Each structure stands twice: as C-alpha cells, then as structure tokens.
Structure 1
Amino acid sequence: MQVLLLKEPRDGASGPDPYIKELASHGLSATLIPVLSFKFVSLNTLSDKLFQPEKHGGLIFTSPRAVEAVKICLEAEERREEWDRSVKEKWNAKSVYVVGKATAALVRNLGLNPLGEDTGTAEILSRVIIEREDTNIPPLFFPCGSIKREVLPSALRENGMPLETLTVYQTAEHPDLDKNLKNYFTVQGIPASIAFFSPSGVKFCIEAVRRLSGEHLTQIKFAAIGPTTQDAITAEGLCVSCTAEKPTAEHLAAAIAKALQGKPTARC
C-alpha cells in the first residue's frame, strides 16, 4: 500500500528518509513530497545574540530550521572556532531546551546539551521550563519561525517567565508543491494514507488533496505527526485515522500500519 508523506526531507542526511525506512519495515511504500520552503532572516541579529550568552537565561529551539539558522551564522562569519572554544560552554552552563529528537540531534551537533527532546510538543515543553526555571533569570532566547504558534510564548509569559523571541526564518509554500502533488496522483493514484507533519502543511496541501482525490477522499486514512497537526486536519472537516504517540518515524509508521490494518481510532 502507498503512503504519501507531506514533509521536507531530513536535513543533510544520506540514505533513505527515516519515515520512508520505518514504513518500509511495515511493508508500506512511501513517497515524500516537500511542502514548505524557507528563507532565513535576521541572521546578523541572531549572530550577535548567540555570542552574548550572558544576556540570556537559556535557549529554546522548537524546530530544526531554527538550529540550522544558528549553524549558518557560525559558518558564515567563521566564528565556529570561537564558539567551540568558549561560547558553547557558556550556553551549556544554562539550559538549552528543545522539542523533538530531530531538533535535539542538530543541537548536539552544535556542541550543546539539549533538554526536553522527549516532550514532543511546545505545550509540554513550556511546562518543563516553568517547573525548572526561576522567574528572576535573564530572558530565555527563542529563535523561531514566522508562523510559530503562540502556545509556548503565551504559557511562559503567563507564568512570569522572561522571554525574548527572534524570527530567524520565514515559511512559505514550496513552489513545486501543486505540480508535485498532481504528478503523484496521476502516476501513483489514490494513496492508502496521507501523513501531515504541521498545521502549515495542512493549510498548503488540503485543497489540492481534496481536488485530486475527488470522490475517493473518504477512502484515505489521514495521519498526523502530533495533536496540533491532528487538530488542523479535523478543523478542515476530515477524519484523522491515527496520530503518532510521539513525533518520531517509529511511532508514526506504527500508527499508520495499525490504521491500515483496520484498527484506527478515527477522530473527526
């Protein structure tokens, strides 16, 4: 059976995408179509703040793209040596919070020690931060995207936690998305399952999926990487056949495999 993954390829990786690999282990054939494109912004400001750890109480990363922005700053200004020599340890003396294993892995590549990789959502991470941190610390620094949800910033500020955000990348629809979707449905036909990985992915794809699926739309098992994406799908009036218990390739593949075996817990 065919599974359509509406997501970007894993950054800088060789070999198969982990989601394609995990689905294959369940006997499922998956195709990946990139949904989003990104433009990095405010990198000079980001670089300045990265090299002033004494002005902040810690770091927060909720997406791999924000970590990539940091990497670009270090490489572009050839400041990696200074970072490795002293700056990263000053950050490690504070707390570096992350959501998800993919983001945590990239943070480790910067020489930082991530906390919270098993939280899975920004909502859960915000509770961890509130429990761990005092409100009298310098502001936590949160590099983020242009369409970030306000769950984490709102929760922290409501609990008196100082926070400084900086938009370091802008998100838009991938320029080839509509063409790639049309080509997929023309060649592969209707997939058994379609997996969404973000509310913005739902926003950019849903009308094309409706149009290309036609009367077969209700036959598709829709899958979500997490509860926020699940809510975005149900808001469009579609049933979610499965949601990953944790936002990992293993958990999503297992959930999709179970749903395709006729054991879903549909949420409409």
Structure 2
Amino acid sequence: MQVLLLKEPRDGESGPDPYIKELASHGHKATLIPVLSFKFVSLNTLTDKIFQPEKHGGLIFTSPRAVEAVKMCIEERKEEWGSSVKDKWNTKSIYVVGKATAALVRGLGLNPVGEDTGTADVLSRVIIEREDTNIPPLFFPCGSIKREVLPTALRESGVPLETLTVYQTAEHPDLEKNLNNYFTEQGVPASIAFFSPSGVKFCLEVVRKLSRERLTQIKVCFPLSSYCVTGIRLSVSFAAIGPTTRDAMTAEGLCVSATAEKPTAEHLGAAIAKALQ
C-alpha cells in the first residue's frame, strides 16, 4: 500500500531514508515529502557561548537542527574545539532527545545522555533528577517554535537554564506543489504519517484541500499505541511519531487510531503495518 511520510530526509545518512526502508520491509511503498525549511540565526552569539563552556553547567539538544547549528560554529574554529573546548564540555552533562540527535552529538565528539527519553518532557525529568540548583545555567540552543515544556519544568524546579534561538522554522517552499503532484499522480494514500506539530500546522489544510471529500479514506499515523478521540474519523488507522504530534492532530479534530511505542522507524513501521492489516 501507499504511505505518505510528511518529514524531512534524515541528515548525514546514505541510502534510503530509514522510514522508507522499514515500511518497504512490511510490503508498503512510502514516499517522503519535506515539510519544513530552516534558517540559522544568531550564529555569532552561539559561537561565543559554545567556546565558553566554563560559563555553563551543560548542554541540551532536543533537535538535530540545533546540533547542526553548533557544528557550523565549530567548523570555523576546529583546532580550538578539538584541542580543549570539546573535552571541557565532556566534563559536563550533554543532554539529548532521541537517537538521531544523539548520533549527531557524538559526531561533534561529545558524549550524550538521555537519547532513550524520546520526548523533551521525559528528558526534563531526567535533568531535574541529575542536576543541582546551584550549577551554572544549562545552555539550550533551540528552534523558534520550540515547546515550552522543558524550559518551564526546569525553571519551576530551580534548575538554571539559558536558551538561544539558533534556527527558524518555516513551511517548505515547495510543500503545496509537491503534495499536489503526489495526489495527482498517486491519488489518496492508504496512510499519511505526520512527524511534528509543525508538520501538522503546515500540511493539514493542504492535505484537506487536495483530498477534500476523500479525507475519510486517509489514515493518520503517530508512533505510540492505539488511540482515538471524537472528531473526524479516518477509515484507515495510522501512526504518529509521538504524543506531541498526536496531540496536535487530535486538536485539529482528527481521530488517531495508532501510535508507535517509540519514535523510531521500526516502531512506526510496525504501527502502520498493524493498522493496515
């Protein structure tokens, strides 16, 4: 069956996207359409902070894009980073959400903590358990539309935090054209998977417009367990990449029938395969 993945390609990996590969192993043909575009900002300020580890108690990364921003800053001062700065950061905690972000952080020579947490909500609890309130502020480079769950939780617990917006998120300039081409050439897919609240925000109205009266043929996927709310009922169950995305979809009146246990290609593939049986 046809599956539409509304997500960005995985950075730094050769071969097919792992989600496409995993769905193919279940006998489904997946197509990936990028949803978002990113613009890096405040890189001079970011460079200053990354090269002054003594002023912070640790680092927090909740997205691959934030790691990419740091990598851009390091490129300008590679020798200094490798000779001393990296090791100074490694005496502190480097917190991450997710395996993809953790892998990129390791690529910087840093040792991440928390890659199995899955969400910023869970990571915030890990940080609160591990950190004292008298440390220098943890440094959190983030995107322009980050959720406030982690900063709020840390501040309410007295864990000092400093944030810096290092990238801005916008709709991919070719999103509507690519979606229109897909629906024209392949019709309504058996399943549509959303991978972020931003993806829901930017895609849902376009998808509704293109599928219109056939919306009830579409299935909406989120990686977790079976889940459904009152709203627009989709005849094909789908999966979402996590509870935050699921909540964004249900807030739009969509009925989400399946969620992956963890936000990975394997768990999403299993959830979709089960829903399409």
The Cα offsets for residues 80-132 of structure 1, whole Å up to 9 and x where unpaired, read as 12111111111110000000000000000000000000000000000000000
- How do 1:1-268 residues align onto structure 2 when only pairs under 5 Å count? 1-75=1-75, 77=76, 79-223=77-221, 224-261=240-277
Q: Residues 57 and 140 of structure 1 are in contact (CA less than 8 Å); yes or no, is this contact kept in structure 2?
A: yes
Contact conserved, 1:145 with 1:168, CA < 8 A, in 2? yes
Contact 1:221 1:260 in 2 (8 A): no
Amino acid at match of 1:199: P
Q: Tell me the CA shift for residue 221 of structure 1.
A: 1.5
Q: 3-state SS of the aligned residue for 2:166?
A: strand
> After the TM superposition, which parts of structure 1 deviate over 3 Å for at least 4 consecutive aligned residues?
none
**How far is the alpha carbon of 1:218 from its aligned partner?**
1.5
Indicate if the aligned counterparts of 1:43 and 1:168 stay in contact, CA closer than 8 A.
yes
Counterpart Cα distance in 2 of 1:83 and 1:188: 49
Q: Which amino acid is the alignment partner of residue 119 of structure 1?
A: T
- State how far apart, in whole Å, the 2-side matches of 1:219 and 1:197 are: 20
- Other structure's SS at 2:257 match: strand
Q: Offset at 1:236? A: 0.7
Code of the aligned partner of 2:259: T
State the SS of the aligned residue for 1:214.
helix
Once residues 118 and 185 of structure 1 are traced to their aligned partners in structure 2, the CA distance between those partners, rounded to angstroms, is 36
| TM superposition shift of 1:12 | 2.5
Q: CA deviation at 1:64?
A: 0.1
Q: Counterparts of 1:91 and 1:219 in 2: how far apart (Å)?
A: 51
Give the paired residue count.
259
C-alpha separation between the residues in 2 aligned to 1:12 and 1:44?
Answer: 24
CA distance in 2, matches of 1:98, 1:227: 18
1:265 is aligned to: none
Higher relative contact order (CA 8 A, sep 6+): 1
Q: Distance in 1 between matches of 2:148 and 2:260?
A: 22
How far is 1:40 from its partner? 0.1
Could you tell me which runs of 5 or more consecutive residues in structure 1 were left unpaired when the two chains were aligned.
Answer: 262-268
Displacement after TM superposition at 1:68 (Å): 0.2
C-alpha separation between the residues in 1 aligned to 2:272 and 2:257? Answer: 8
Stretch of structure 1 that moved more, 183-192 or 81-90: 81-90
The one-letter code matched in structure 1 to 2:262 is K
CA–CA distance in 2 between the matches of 1:81 and 1:57?
23
